[in-house]
Amino acid sequence: MEPIISFRNVSFQYRTKSTPTLKNINLEIHKGEKVLIIGSSGSGKSTIAKCINGLIPSTYAGKLDGEITVCGKNPSREGIFGISKHVGTVLQDTDGQFIGLTVAEDIAFALENDNTPTEEMHKKVLEAAETVNVEKLLKAVPGTLSGGQKQRVSLAGILVDNVEVLLFDEPLANLDPAAGKRIISLIDKINSESDKTVIIIEHRLEDVLYKKVDRIIVVEDGQIAIDTSPNELLSTDLLPQKGIREPLYIAALKHAGCKLQPQDKLESIESMNLKPYKESLKNWFKQIQVPPVKTSKEIALELRNVSFAYDKSKSNTVENISFAIHKGEMVSLVGTNGAGKSTIASLICGFNKQDSGEIFLNGREISDFSIKQRGEKIGFVMQNQNQMICKSIIYDETALGLTARKIPKNEIKEKVFNALKICGMYPYRNWPVNAVSFGQKKRVTIASILVMNPEVIILDEPTAGQDYAHYTEIMEFLRQLNRELGITIIMITHDMHLMLEYTDRAIVLSNGHIIADDKSSNILTDEKITEEASLKKTSLYDLAVKCGFENPSALVDAFIYYERNQRKQAEKEA
């Protein structure tokens, strides 16, 4: 059977780079397969995607060697338009994919290009919208939609063209856990019911494995390092060696000394045979003594009965919000898209002013403080980095806040270089901001805040689009700031791994109200809270329940404590 996608001895070198990004790639993907491509940032996985959808060499110039066929066509000869009839791409940054003024117009774009008769066009648009459950949003403006809704609209826009291959570039990067599960379920449904070939590029391995995939392809240094089934791959230690985060339940079992076997259906905690591993897990758990968490009595930031509405004629976006963050704490602010998390951050930073209630910084009420005054003490890294970037060159962008405060040039240079090194962006300091990837732009914005040395840092989705190595590097640096300098850190996140690993406490929002304020491990083992707030129970909870633990959160605490100690030990040895 002929593969639907074939790479034969393919190498590619961007015109702007001195070495090839892809090196002798040989790859076959067959019709109807669902394939996950993973790898660290810069490994070449996105370049493979650009070869499949025709962006290389049509848009990205360079030297392409070898032979590529997609649906029997040569992308180089067909160009982007020709290949778009066969391959539909849903971009990571969906805002860059919208063209129409309404959802219906955007879905219809490809049909309009083909001069499809109006009646047929309306029918196809409605069918595609119904397939992805956005038929009630056809008159909405794409920019007003939630992250999950935008993903669905983008998907509908390629389904109307009846393409054979669906290519997803990090579909989970900006979604809350529940929306992510729905998108993965939708992709799985389309794959199984239509026999379309699906290729997913994503850092969040465990979340993609919520539904079955046929193969996992690991790209490393421009080459195919691994190409195998999920069960085979998870039974090895190859993923950590390649800098990729294993599913948490797999990591826990390996910490307990279990030798995992592929036949035990490792790809899902739901279907996995845990009988051979229960005793080892329980024995390992008994050996770990988790000390109590210590927090300062001093309060850094406090909200008292804060309410706010963007539209004063409608109900409040957030209502009667009260919480206190102690000095030196690292806290997660979690909940579904639209729950009010980013609104609370905007009120703290002064971008909007609360309609009622009080905000205190170090015991002082700051409602009358200007944005600039608050900015001297509170740093804010926005979710959409494009809304923060003002300068064209990375060094200038990072230095902007210091330059505005007339800091001496030598001091600026030292602080900027240090921040860029920590964020992994020092080699790109003289590059244009637009020349780096989505994830790299995120690191630039974090660096531009870190140079200011604020007392409180609020980060809105700090690790979205990051591979595990850069995720760890950024989070360990934030932990270092927190631990050594006592900087208070609040993270708005959809990443449940981040919430567990780096914040002992989480504040949970739903529909503008706080519904929980507790240990992260307690929240992610509470089915009622996770369901109400569109969170995702940690797979460690399922592991604990299936292995007969009386207190599932205790296993979660033990796992996090063990991993933190491992990281500390690795730092000492380094």
pLDDT number for residue 90: 83
Q: Is 413 helix (H, G, I), strand (E, B) or coil?
A: helix
CA dist., res. 90 & res. 167, Å (int): 6
Contact 27, 224 (CB under 8 A): yes
CA dist., res. 262 & res. 326, Å (int): 46
How crowded is the C-beta side of 60, counted as CA atoms within 13 Å?
Answer: 20
Task: Enter the pTM of the model.
Answer: 0.83
How crowded is the C-beta side of 188, counted as CA atoms within 13 Å?
Answer: 14
| pLDDT digit string (tens) for the chain, length 574 residues | 789 999 999 999 999 888 999 999 999 999 999 999 999 888 899 899 999 999 998 888 899 999 999 999 999 898 888 998 899 888 766 666 777 888 898 888 888 887 888 888 898 888 888 887 888 889 888 877 776 678 788 888 888 878 899 998 888 876 777 778 888 998 898 898 888 999 999 888 999 999 999 999 999 999 999 999 999 999 999 999 888 899 999 999 999 999 999 999 999 999 999 999 999 999 999 999 998 888 788 999 999 999 999 887 788 889 999 999 999 999 999 988 778 898 999 999 999 999 999 999 999 999 999 998 898 899 998 877 777 888 999 999 999 989 988 899 999 999 999 999 988 899 999 999 988 876 688 789 888 988 888 899 999 888 776 778 778 877 887 888 888 878 899 999 888 888 998 998 999 999 999 999 999 999 999 989 998 988 888 999 999 999 999 999 999 999 999 998 888 887 777 6
pLDDT number for residue 154: 82
Query: Pick from 238, 267, 274, 223: which is nearest to 253 by CA?
Result: 274
CA dist., res. 235 & res. 258, Å (int): 10
pLDDT number for residue 331: 96
Burial environment of residue 193 by CB neighbours within 10 A (0 to 12, 13 to 18, 19 or more): exposed
Hey, what amino acid is at 456?
V
pLDDT tens per residue across span 347-392: 999 999 999 999 999 999 999 999 988 988 999 988 777 778 889 9
Q: Is 251 helix (H, G, I), strand (E, B) or coil?
A: helix
Using the structure block, give the residue that is written with the tokens 């060697």: 65
pLDDT number for residue 206: 92
pLDDT tens per residue across span 523-562: 999 989 998 988 888 999 999 999 999 999 999 999 999 9
Strand bridging mode 5-14 / 62-70 = antiparallel
Using the structure block, give the residue that is written with the tokens 């240990």: 519
pLDDT tens per residue across span 107-166: 888 888 878 888 888 988 888 888 878 888 898 888 777 766 787 888 888 888 788 999
pLDDT tens per residue across span 235-252: 999 999 888 899 999 999
pLDDT number for residue 201: 93
The DSSP-derived string for 41-89 is TTSSHHHHHHHHTTHHHHTS-EEEEEEEEETTB-HHHHHHHHHTTTEEE
CA dist., res. 155 & res. 161, Å (int): 11
